[in-house]
């Protein structure tokens, strides 16, 4: 006590208090862990791990740490610079009411947002059911047989549709038709993608689509100006010519309108943002994608399917994963890794909560208000374009356009300037009769809404009768049960209880960096100043966002050493693509567009070759040596062989093998010597921050997974953010945006095509990373990196005597993750890495990464946020499992009836009257004493993956199936 009473104020201020909240081990525990490693200090451990040649000479040029409340107050001041008005701009972004039961219990609930992609399906049955609901919702609304579990945004979903159309179309043409009524940001992204696929884009009216020789077409329904057109004739004509048709559509409009499937489309896509997900200055939102069943193996993105567990019980899982980049690499359908699971869950729950009748009422009300507005304008002599619309009215305003827009802004509304002589008004769920009256008055029209309502009602609205929907939607019981808040609350809790997330235990997935997502980091994302802004709002209204984004960009420049940051890519894989696009544009600007060879080590993430293929690059694989390093001689030979055509090297650092390669600078220099650029995959940036940097190492461009290194949660499989850092020579070639510029009028990248729908990607989650860096400070970030390396080495040292650590650096250390070799165990006993993964569930842990980058191994990444107690529980579980394997080796347990082969064990199985196993129920469920204190019960037993893929079913199952 006396020590504190006499301490200086600077110490009592505890400005670095957040660091102690974020890091798992305290100083005393760090000392104990170092002693176990035989390292005299943390500095000494880092010296043994990170090559001296790439170490930073100076501290990170970042401010000191801020206490949580101070950082929140500073960000609140920045947010206050944003001007929140009612946004009736439209163009795919709409005001919406997030049901508060979903806001509080999903979006703001760590049980939902700290989970990982549901690769371990037995402990992810809750969000898998939520995603199946989402898929069923999309299937019903689109009228197609199959939907995936979300994509990044509408524009990239359209680009995926274009690529899929080329895969499945038998047409010989290399041209793709785009409806001139498509959203402008979609066209922007399509142009970028088409260029590097080598496709020709043909732009024109939808009715002319089949008049061109094309392999596919994209039509918009309703179109960008709100018009509802009967697309059945052009769709039929496209089909007759062998072209694949895609329709970008509005899910709220589909509640009332004929589905794209009924009209004849092969693919339907769009955004579910207006189903309860805030606009958030552009994202994150869940795009949807549906198609016909016979195209299932060509469809991009993840699909949730129904299977059964080993007891015959209905169970859910991710289906047909052999289509995906982590298995097929450059032959994959797409480079997609992260999707938008958290937002897809929210949109699906919105449909569950409102049900079919609730959604019809919301949609009908939106349309009624738009029809009243149009009728009032017409009566005042204002020419309204078109007579068939859902929610968008375009008025011919002539010379009054600027005056009307300014008056609307002064009254609290942002409208869309369609042209110098036309204004668009896109009404939404948040619009009221009072809003319509105010808008009519601004146009000089009468504002007797009741009288206008009567006239519109008598006329039957503005939707064409022949396009009204008559088939049932959302008939499954899940959409017709949970309409009171108690029912919904309990349904959400039931699903949450089936999922293991960071709020229960460590998730040590290698290459995934499942660190703490602190509450103070999460709080700002639901502030109205961040949540309720349209991405195309006037620049003067988004100054707070721009300041926050610029501040975060400056932070990231300091961390990475790069000269510029592009904040547009809304996933890590998207960042890879954006970086490669910048490289291709750079080469083209120098007259070297022929450089199309990309060197990629065979240990790379699957997204690397998939992204390279999407960018029109030829992948040349570089070998690795016996120590897991890039084979330098093989790299030099291949760089020399392809010198004239060498575009880039894609390299991960530290390597995916979990070591800091000592020759990394020589690797970069070899590529540069032959005119290539170095792209660094930022998946393992958590082992670099404050110790080295991509630019210091020699990279020209790198993406940063903000959902890994910089504390944005994984959301159960998204959202993520993958901004890229670039050297000055590449900066002019980073993405811009056709609708909303990404910088000042003199920006270096002006006019460059977009890679995402919104100018700053998923902007509303950027405050999370801003808060993380602000609260950690430069020294705090460095300490986090050091502790991440300490935790990984502690696990490697403790588990090394039981499982061989496959790769280490020259001084016997690993980086921030380690690979444990299970292959000798499999050879001796038949026990596989999958068996160990499933058995860890019985101990209350999510498995580490399996069979990547080396088949038959597991890769462990504990992150800096785990304390020694949790590390020791995981270590204890792994050692206990090794003991169980030893019993199999000694013949004490049968090879086909043991706790590993039967794992995971469900509560139903353990409590059953019959138990026929060669081990006890206690060994099955409570293998160590501490397990019972916080037992997590898997919702189902081990799932039969083969059955699920052979009997593909990807929609909501009858309730009776669960009872059976």
Mean local confidence (pLDDT), 804-818? 97
Mean local confidence (pLDDT), 49-59? 98
pLDDT of 322:
67
Per-residue pLDDT for 184 more than 60? yes
Question: Are 695 and 558 contacting, i.e. CB atoms less than 8 angstroms apart?
Answer: no
Same domain, 759 and 798: no
Tokens of 773: 């860096």
pLDDT of 332:
57
- CATH of residue 660: 3.40.640.10
Same domain, 208 and 318: yes
Same domain, 153 and 286: yes
DSSP string, 109-159: -HHHHT---SSSGGGBHHHHHHHHHHHHHHHHHHT-SEE-S-BS-HHHHHH
Q: Tens of pLDDT along 379-422?
A: 999 999 999 999 999 999 999 999 999 999 999 999 999 999 99
pLDDT of 605:
84
Same domain, 770 and 783: no
Tokens of 622: 């570089």
Lowest mean pLDDT segment, chosen from 64-68, 340-344, 739-743, 958-962 = 958-962
Q: Rounded distance, CA 428 to CA 184, Å?
A: 20
Q: Tens of pLDDT along 815-856?
A: 999 999 999 999 999 999 999 999 999 999 999 999 999 999
Residue 298 domain-assigned (yes or no):
yes
Q: Rounded distance, CA 846 to CA 837, Å?
A: 7
Element (H, E) at 413: strand 413-414
Same domain, 670 and 791: no
Mean local confidence (pLDDT), 431-448? 96
Helix (H/G/I), strand (E/B), else coil: 330: helix
What Cα–Cα distance (Å) separates residue 884 from each residue in 289, 428, 508, 874?
A: 45, 59, 21, 15
Same domain, 744 and 807: no
Q: Tens of pLDDT along 683-692?
A: 999 999 999 9
Residue 793 domain-assigned (yes or no):
yes
Mean local confidence (pLDDT), 473-483? 98
How would you label 717-752 residue by residue, b for 16+ Cβ within 10 Å and e otherwise?
A: bbbbbbbbbbbeebbbbbbbbbbbebbeeeeebeeb
- CATH of residue 792: 3.90.1150.10
Q: What is the strand order of the sheet 646-652 is part of?
A: 564-566, 724-726, 701-703, 677-681, 646-652, 597-601, 618-622
What is the tally of structural domains in the chain?
3
Mean local confidence (pLDDT), 197-207? 97
Same domain, 769 and 893: no
Among candidate residues 278, 310, 339, the one where a domain is terminated: 339
Per-residue pLDDT for 327 more than 60? no
Same domain, 819 and 896: yes
Same domain, 190 and 216: yes
Q: Rounded distance, CA 522 to CA 771, Å?
A: 9
Q: Rounded distance, CA 790 to CA 30, Å?
A: 8
Among candidate residues 291, 314, 339, the one where a domain is terminated: 339
Backbone angles phi, psi at 923, to 5 degrees: -65, -35
Same domain, 768 and 788: no
pLDDT of 964:
47
pLDDT of 604:
87
Residue 911's closest CA among 929, 894, 925, 898?
A: 925
The pTM is what?
A: 0.97
Q: Tens of pLDDT along 693-723?
A: 999 999 999 999 999 999 999 999 999 999 9
Q: Tens of pLDDT along 726-735?
A: 999 999 999 9
Element (H, E) at 402: helix 401-411
Per-residue pLDDT for 324 more than 60? no
Residue 733 domain-assigned (yes or no):
yes
Residue 73 domain-assigned (yes or no):
no
Per-residue pLDDT for 551 more than 60? yes
Same domain, 286 and 232: yes
Same domain, 752 and 833: no
Residue 23 domain-assigned (yes or no):
no
Cis peptide before 430 (omega within 30 of 0): no
Q: Tens of pLDDT along 587-603?
A: 999 999 999 999 999 98
SS3 content of the chain, % helix, strand, coil (to 5): 45, 15, 40
Domain holding 837, by residue range, is 779-950
Residue 53 domain-assigned (yes or no):
no
Per-residue pLDDT for 959 more than 80? no
- pLDDT confidence bin for 309, thresholds 50/70/90: very high
* Full 3-state SS string of 733-768: HCCCCCCCCCCCCCCCCCCCCCCCCCCCCCHHHHHH
Residue 551 domain-assigned (yes or no):
yes
The count of other CB atoms within 10 Å of the CB of residue 448 is: 15
Question: Are 762 and 156 contacting, i.e. CB atoms less than 8 angstroms apart?
Answer: no
Among candidate residues 726, 754, 774, the one where a domain is terminated: 774
- pLDDT confidence bin for 249, thresholds 50/70/90: very high
Cis peptide before 262 (omega within 30 of 0): no
Element (H, E) at 234: helix 232-240
Residue 633 domain-assigned (yes or no):
yes
The per-residue pLDDT of the chain, averaged, comes to: 96
- pLDDT confidence bin for 963, thresholds 50/70/90: low
Per-residue pLDDT for 773 more than 70? yes
């Amino acid at each position: 006590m006396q020590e504190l009473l006499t301490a200086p104020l600077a110490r009592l201020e505890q400005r670095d208090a957040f660091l102690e909240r974020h890091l798992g081990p305290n100083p005393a525990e760090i000392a104990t862990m170092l002693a176990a490693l035989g390292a005299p200090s943390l500095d000494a451990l880092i010296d043994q791990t990170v090559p001296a040649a790439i170490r930073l000479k100076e501290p990170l040029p970042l401010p000191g740490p801020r206490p949580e409340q101070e950082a929140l107050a500073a960000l609140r001041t920045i947010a206050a610079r944003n001007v929140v008005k009612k946004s009736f701009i439209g163009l795919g972004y709409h005001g919406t009411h997030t049901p508060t039961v979903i806001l509080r219990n999903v979006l703001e609930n760590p049980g939902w947002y700290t989970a990982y992609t549901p690769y371990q399906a037995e402990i992810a049955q809750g969000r898998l059911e939520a995603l199946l609901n989402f898929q069923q919702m999309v299937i019903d609304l689109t009228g197609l047989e199959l939907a995936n579990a979300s994509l990044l945004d509408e524009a990239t979903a359209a680009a995926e549709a274009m690529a899929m159309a080329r895969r499945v179309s038998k047409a010989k043409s290399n041209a793709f038709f785009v409806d001139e009524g498509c959203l402008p940001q979609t066209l922007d992204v399509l142009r970028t993608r088409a260029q590097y696929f080598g496709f020709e884009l043909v732009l024109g009216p939808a009715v002319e689509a089949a008049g061109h020789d094309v392999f596919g077409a994209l039509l918009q329904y309703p179109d960008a100006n709100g018009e509802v057109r009967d697309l059945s004739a052009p769709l039929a004509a496209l089909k007759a010519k062998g072209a694949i048709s895609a329709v970008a559509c509005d899910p709220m409009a589909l509640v009332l309108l004929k589905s794209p499937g009924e009209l004849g489309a092969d693919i339907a896509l769009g955004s579910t943002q207006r189903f309860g997900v805030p606009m958030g200055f552009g994202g994150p939102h869940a795009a949807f994608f549906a198609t016909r069943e016979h195209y299932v193996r060509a469809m991009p993105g993840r699909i949730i399917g129904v299977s059964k567990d080993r007891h015959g019980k209905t169970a859910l899982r991710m289906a047909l994963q052999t289509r995906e980049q982590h298995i097929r690499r450059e032959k994959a359908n797409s480079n997609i890794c992260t999707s938008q699971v958290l937002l897809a869950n929210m949109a699906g729950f919105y449909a569950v909560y409102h049900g079919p009748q609730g959604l019809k009422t919301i949609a009908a009300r939106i349309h009624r208000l738009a029809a009243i507005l149009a009728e009032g304008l017409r009566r005042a002599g204002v020419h309204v374009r078109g007579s068939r619309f859902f929610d968008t009215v375009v008025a011919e305003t002539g010379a009054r356009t600027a005056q009307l827009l300014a008056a609307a802004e002064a009254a609290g509304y942002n409208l869309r300037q369609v042209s110098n002589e036309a204004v668009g008004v896109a009404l939404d769920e948040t619009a009221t009769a009072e809003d319509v009256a105010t808008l009519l008055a601004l146009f000089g029209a009468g504002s007797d809404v009741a009288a206008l309502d009567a006239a519109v009602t008598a006329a039957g609205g503005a939707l064409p009768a022949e396009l009204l929907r008559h088939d049932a939607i959302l008939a499954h019981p899940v959409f017709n049960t949970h309409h009171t808040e108690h029912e919904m609350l309990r349904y959400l809790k039931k699903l949450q209880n089936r999922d293991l997330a960071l709020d229960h235990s460590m998730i040590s997935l290698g290459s995934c960096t499942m660190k703490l997502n602190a509450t103070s980091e999460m709080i700002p994302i639901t502030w109205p100043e961040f949540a309720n802004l349209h991405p195309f709002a006037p620049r003067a209204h988004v100054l707070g966002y721009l300041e926050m984004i610029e501040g975060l960009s400056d932070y990231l420049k300091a961390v990475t050493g790069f000269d510029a940051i592009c904040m547009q890519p809304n996933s890590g894989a998207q960042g890879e693509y954006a970086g490669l696009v910048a490289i291709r544009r750079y080469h083209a600007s120098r007259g070297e567009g022929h450089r199309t060879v990309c060197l990629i080590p065979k240990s790379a993430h699957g997204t690397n070759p998939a992204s390279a293929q999407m960018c029109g690059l030829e992948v040349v694989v570089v070998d690795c040596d016996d120590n897991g390093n890039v084979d330098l001689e093989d790299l030099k030979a291949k760089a020399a062989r392809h010198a004239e055509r060498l575009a880039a090297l894609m390299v991960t650092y530290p390597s995916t093998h979990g070591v800091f390669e000592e020759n990394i600078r020589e690797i970069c220099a070899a590529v540069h010597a032959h005119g290539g650029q170095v792209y660094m995959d930022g998946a393992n940036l958590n082992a670099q921050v404050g110790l080295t940097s991509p630019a210091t190492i020699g990279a020209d461009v790198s993406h940063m997974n903000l959902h890994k290194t910089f504390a944005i949660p994984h959301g159960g499989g998204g959202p993520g953010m993958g901004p890229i850092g670039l050297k000055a020579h590449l900066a002019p070639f980073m993405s811009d945006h056709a609708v909303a510029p990404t910088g000042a009028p003199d920006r270096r990248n002006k006019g460059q095509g977009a890679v995402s729908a919104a100018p700053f990607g998923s902007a509303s989650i950027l405050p999370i990373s801003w808060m993380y860096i602000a609260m950690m400070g430069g020294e705090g970030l460095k300490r986090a990196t050091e502790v991440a390396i300490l935790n990984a080495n502690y696990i490697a040292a403790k588990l090394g005597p039981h499982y061989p650590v496959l790769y280490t650096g020259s001084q016997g250390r690993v980086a921030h993750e380690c690979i444990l070799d299970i292959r000798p165990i499999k050879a001796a006993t038949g026990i596989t890495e999958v068996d160990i993964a499933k058995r860890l569930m019985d101990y209350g842990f999510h498995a580490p990464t399996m069979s990547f980058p080396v088949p038959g191994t597991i890769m462990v990444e504990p992150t800096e946020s785990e304390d020694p107690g949790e590390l020791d529980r995981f270590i204890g579980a792994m050692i206990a499992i090794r003991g169980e394997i030893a019993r199999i080796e000694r013949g004490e347990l049968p090879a086909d009836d043991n706790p590993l082969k039967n794992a995971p064990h469900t509560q139903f199985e353990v409590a059953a009257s019959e138990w026929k196993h060669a081990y006890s129920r206690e060994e099955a469920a409570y293998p160590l004493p501490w397990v019972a204190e916080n037992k997590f019960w898997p919702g189902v037993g081990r799932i039969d993956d083969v059955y699920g893929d052979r009997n593909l079913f990807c929609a909501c199952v009858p309730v009776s199936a669960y009872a059976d």
